[in-house]
Amino acid sequence: MVKKTRRQIQNSGNHSNKTRITAALLVFVLIGSGIALVFTNSDSESNSNSEFSSNVIPTNCPKFDKSSPRTIDFLRPPPRCINSEKNYTAIFDTTEGQINVVLDTSLTPNTTNNFVVLANYGYYDDTLLFRLDPSIGIVQGGSPHTNDWSDPGPGYTISDEGGLFLPLSNGGVKGPFTYLPGQLIMARSSGLNSSGAQFFFSTSEEVSLLDSQGSYIVFGETDEQGLSVLQKIMSLYEEDENSPYGGGPTREILIRSVSIEIDNN
């Protein structure tokens, strides 16, 4: 199986302290207790490359043709760039096949807007689906800096939405969502309003084990063809006691690009 070493994806140089202290967004779940475990990034050195813009304040919406410079670091959340009266589909071009996801602009417009903006900035392009977990039926990605769950994120977090979120005495959050195969869902750390960029797909009925938390925001759904691609990806899982995730894919699974299509009907 693939050795769990960090893939060297080129990224920006000299991140500011403000962006580097952002908590890593993840969905590592301790099933027995229902507690989401929090991992924070380390202040490690990053490789310099002029392809990326660093510490950009996204005061303007990126172009939908993705001609705006690729950007993976920001100082604050994006403005509203989508029209909630239109329909948006995220097209994931992966090395295992294409996954089309219809995004939810009614229940979760802010989460969808955030994902669309990041996708149009090229945030998710040439990144790995780095974690497979058949015990809870998820495939996780969205980490352009590190390609693992320690990724510092885009430099900000977004507000929870889609229902009532209640803080728990253990530091976690109880949310309103339930989970089915074929959904696109935001990863998060344990506190309120802690999602940023990492996401996961649900691939099997085991994802319902997350219902007891319900705090991972569902903001899209794929079709049968997309779900079959996700299940094919999950079939590549192999246990590995040396992996921080307990196992992983037998080969790298790359997201070549995420593009957004708009349906005006």
Amino acid at 95: T
> What CATH number labels 17-40+49-81+88-263?
2.40.100.10
d(CA 229, CA 93): 11
What tens digit of pLDDT does each residue of 151-187 get?
Answer: 999 999 999 999 999 999 999 999 999 999 999 999 9
Q: Residue 58: which residues within 8 A CB-CB, separation 6 or more?
A: 71, 74, 76, 77, 78, 79, 117, 121
Question: What pTM was estimated for this model as a whole?
Answer: 0.81
Sequence spans of domains, the chain: 17-40+49-81+88-263
Which pLDDT score, from 0 to 100, does residue 244 have?
Answer: 87
Q: What percent of the chain has pLDDT over 90?
A: 72
12, 48 Cβ separation under 8 angstroms: yes
CA-wise closest residue to 151 among 256, 52, 9 = 9
What is the sign, positive or negative, of the torsion defined by CA atoms of 155, 160, 162, 167?
A: positive
Q: Which two tokens stand for residue 97?
A: 């096949």
Average pLDDT on 232-261 reads 94
pLDDT at 12 over 60: no
Other Cβ atoms within 10 Å of 76 Cβ, number: 12
Confidence class of residue 252 from pLDDT cuts 50, 70 and 90? very high
What tens digit of pLDDT does each residue of 102-151 get?
Answer: 999 999 999 999 999 999 999 999 999 999 999 999 999 999 999 999 99
